[in-house]
Amino acid sequence: MNIEKKECEATIASMNFIAAHIRKIASELDTRSVTSLVDSIMTSKRIFLMGAGRSGLAARAFAMRLMHMGFYVYVVGETTTPAVNAEDMVIAVSGSGETPSIASLGAIAKRIGSKLATVTSNRDSTLGRISDIVILIPGRTKEDIIYEDYHERRMTGYTQLAPLGTVFEISALVFLDAVISELMVRTGASEAELKSRHTLFE
């Protein structure tokens, strides 16, 4: 029995660690930036989501919910995604803000004249510096591993509780789902409306 409890301790500790981190982010969120993001989503002709790896999965999940809300939304890189134009909004999800492919696409979107929003842990990054809207979601990006103090890591157990970019990726996903809640309140959309647009092929 003691062995089973010990084996589960890391699971529970990790969940509590991440939950506490999300609560901290919520309490420190720059609401003006969030308001700008929501306003821009509501007024843009089309919305394009992009991100790489697990951040890309968070972006895709947000794109799906925006579709459920009735917005015209696309995921950058899909074969049926159309070209971006100046009336559109591009939302990037990148913990470091330095992922080469996403930073390059962000620069292209800006040259076209699109509004660019970035969800990132690094405001002073390539993406952060060129974005019209920056949503700061503090987290431990993969790049931080290089600089992390070995003794501090051993004391806190941080890597075991949330390895690589886990903290940012999960926090970004929770934040983006919360934005959907804000949009539902703003537009008066019901859960039944969202469900009516849900795919029948799952």
Catalytic amino acids?
A: 169
* Rg of the chain, C-alpha, whole Å: 18
Q: Which of helix, strand or coil describes residue 134?
A: strand
C-alpha to C-alpha distance for 168 and 172, rounded to whole angstroms = 6
C-alpha to C-alpha distance for 123 and 141, rounded to whole angstroms = 13
Dihedral sign computed on CA atoms, order 120, 123, 129, 131: positive
C-alpha to C-alpha distance for 191 and 202, rounded to whole angstroms = 18
C-alpha to C-alpha distance for 42 and 148, rounded to whole angstroms = 40
Q: Residue-wise over 153-185: b if at least 16 C-beta within 10 A, else e?
A: eeeeebeebbebbbbbbbbbbbbbeebbeebbe
